[in-house]
Structure 1
């Protein structure tokens, strides 16, 4: 039996510099979190894990409550660290693009794709091993989600990241340790916009 990972990218969260851990959801983000619950409530998800960041937890909280399950937090699933100062949008986007081309590249005070992968992928491998054959929801962020998916399939890179939305849901099916199928459950092609 395959193992399914539901990567749930967090809903809209107003940006506040220096508040990465504690940023909650906007009003629209909270409404979208309830829509995430409606989309996934009949999937029979057995395990709920998340980044420790408030916006990731809040996006999957309605779903976990509906299932009567606790959300287990993993520090290693936090969003990729970018910087220790504010950068302009263009500068930051250029750096993110470059980091998918050169996985060792990072902004000063930030984290490379390789470094983020080295802390997050072992958690995914552990979940696949410990919960083999079951369904697992993962509260996540855009960059770290793309980095994890890129580890298993190199076609998930910068362009993929730029095509994702807040929130977003990708169902990854694994046969053992091998990724065999990816299905988007949120967005135009899924019928849930």
Structure 2
């Protein structure tokens, strides 16, 4: 009795300080979101849930419209808060992310650790697996939270995996009795 979850990482969205929740997709992101819709329209989908962030919702919007399914926004699936409202050089942020997958309690000041994110997101995943066993679910998500969720079920998914994901990206996760059996990249 397999349950399938498609994790759909949002398409390209320009970074704008202070607009983490509201920033939209770029023009290229909108084009790629249409490709995501075309890929997912070939699949039977029972449920669509998403981070409440605009870019995640925009990426899966075409799917919910074409399949006439409502999207349920879940706050616990929001992107990881890496740090407080202060600037750091990009290389320091990258090093902190890398370190956080080795020490899941590590976090920058004002940020969330891998464990913090797992503590809020994994109960949602288990709830979905319990309520929608044998169904197919889409999760509109972000790179860090997606990797952290996958890391909970298989430690192979860490910094290097995250670094090599794209915007957008699609991963098919197949669960059997709440155990991850298969991960397959769908985005090309």
Residue in 2 that maps onto 1:119? 120
How many angstroms apart in 1 are the aligned matches of 2:182 and 2:113?
A: 27
Deviations 1:67-120 (A, max 9, x none): 101100100000000112122210100000000011000011100000011000
Deviations 1:145-178 (A, max 9, x none): 0000000011001110011000000000001101
Gaps of 5+ in 2: none
Residue in 2 that maps onto 1:165? 166
Residue in 2 that maps onto 1:191? none
Deviations 1:44-79 (A, max 9, x none): 111000000000000000011111011001000000
Deviations 1:18-48 (A, max 9, x none): 1100010000001100000001101111100
Gaps of 5+ in 1: 188-193
Q: How many residues align structurally?
A: 187
Q: Map 1:172-183; keep pairs closer than 5 Å.
A: 172-183=173-184
Residue in 1 that maps onto 2:147? 146
The question of whether the paired residues in 2 share the 8 Å contact of 1:76 and 1:123 is answered with yes
How many angstroms apart in 2 are the aligned matches of 1:28 and 1:147?
A: 26
Q: Map 1:54-65; keep pairs closer than 5 Å.
A: 54-65=54-65
How many angstroms apart in 1 are the aligned matches of 2:102 and 2:155?
A: 11
Residue in 1 that maps onto 2:46? 46
Task: Spell out structure 1 runs of 4+ moving beyond 2 A.
Answer: none
Residue in 1 that maps onto 2:96? 95
2:25 is paired with a residue whose SS is: coil
- Give me the TM-score of the superposition, normalised by structure 2: 0.98
Quote the RMSD (CA, aligned, Å).
0.6
The question of whether the paired residues in 2 share the 8 Å contact of 1:17 and 1:86 is answered with no
Residue in 2 that maps onto 1:190? none
How many angstroms apart in 2 are the aligned matches of 1:43 and 1:2?
A: 15
How many angstroms apart in 2 are the aligned matches of 1:64 and 1:35?
A: 14
How many angstroms apart in 2 are the aligned matches of 1:7 and 1:107?
A: 26
